[in-house]
Amino acid sequence: MTLVLTVVLVALIFEYINGFHDTANSIATVVSTKVLTPRQAIVLAAVTNLVGALFGTAVAKTISSGLVDSQFVNTTTIICALSGGIVWNLITWWFGMPSSSSHALVGGLVGSTLATAGGNWDALIWSKAPEAGKHWYEGGGILYKVVLPMFSSPVAGFVIGLLVMGLLQTLCYSMRPLIVSRTFGKLQIFSAGFMGFSHGQNDAQKTMGIIALALLAGTKAGDLNDIPGWLGFLRIESLGEKSDHIPVWIKVVCALTMAAGTAAGGWRIIKTLGHKMVKLQPVHGFAAETTAATVLFVAAKLGMPVSTTHAITTSIMGVGAAKRWNAIQWSVVERIIWAWVLTIPATALLGFLFYKVFGA
């Protein structure tokens, strides 16, 4: 039982770090445009994250049962996966780089599961054909749920951000700048709320899935057989693809933990996204947030654990490109892209090594 509870604790530590790492991305624009103070933005993010986390479980189910074969997963596997993600998140946070906690978690899980399986690559669910009558994107596995969205979501963020900003520039062409700023300053509160909701619906669910997977592994291994009756809610007997049973207590705890992390230290990444990469005004913040939130919302409905970081960063790039191409600080963008490229391989290696050292 102690090991299972350790997994839950480490998962919540990951979620806390996710809070000041990824949730900072979701409120960076509304803070940098000075529509809301950091404190106000954090409160808004906390509330909307909680609401979003309570809607749907598609992403949680992908993490808990759609990427790796659960027979090769034990509580040590999950601790090592989370540890790999935590180490990488802290490194990138320290340098102010908005890398993906989503991909850090996936990479860590893949690496530690592979180590647990003794190098048996069949432990990884690479692809799973969709059910009869379903579309190709409704298939499962790492290919459909991670790799394809990893490339398509940044492209969608950039292109849609560019188009939305171009449309807004056309509509606001004859308006006075002060009126534009005031109007979109008010509208950006709603777009920031939508961003927080979509972020909670996607990112908070990833840790939910990990906790559910840990409790499932603990239940199957008999680690929870002797727990007191009042802790019976910790037992999870099954998690199939068609199961919607992610306990409410897991949702609430994950959402609140993420909100606490946001309050603790998100300013480094807010500064990178909102100030260093491109200078934003309320109309740009509205366009970027609306674009990124839409990408995240659609992905969550499809059960794809995409990166909030990728969505908001490329949306800001698209909005900046609509202003003028050289409005974007491309040297900063280059550093961000390197962090993206390295995240899954680095965390997979860390997860693998952690298991070899501590789990073997």
Residue-wise pLDDT for 14-72, tens only, equals 888 777 666 666 677 787 778 888 778 878 877 887 788 777 677 777 776 678 887 88
Rounded to whole angstroms, how far apart are CA atoms 310 and 332? 14
Q: Please report where in the chains the tokens 């309570």 appear, as a residue.
A: 54
Largest interatomic CA distance in the chain: 71
- pLDDT surpassing 90 at residue 113: yes
Q: How many CB atoms lie within 10 A of CB 334?
A: 9
156: pLDDT confidence band, cut at 50, 70 and 90?
very high
185-213 pLDDT, tens digit per residue, is 889 899 988 988 888 888 777 788 788 87
265-293 pLDDT, tens digit per residue, is 555 556 555 555 556 788 888 998 999 99
* Angle 76-80-84 from CA coordinates, rounded to 5°: 170
Domain ranges of the chain: 2-120+142-355
Q: Are 317 and 328 in contact (CB under 8 A)?
A: yes
| 238: region left, alpha or beta (phi > 0 left; psi from -120 to 50 alpha) | beta
Q: Please report where in the chains the tokens 């849609």 appear, as a residue.
A: 160
Task: Look up residue 169 and give its DSSP letter.
Answer: H
What is residue 242's predicted lDDT score, i.e. its pLDDT?
44
Task: Look up residue 234 and give its DSSP letter.
Answer: G
Distance of CA 325 to the CA centre of its chain: 28
Q: Of 96, 99, 125, which is closest to residue 110 (Cα–Cα)? A: 125
And the tokens for 76?
A: 């040590």
Share of the chain above pLDDT 90, in %: 15
Q: Identify the three-state secondary structure at position 273.
A: helix
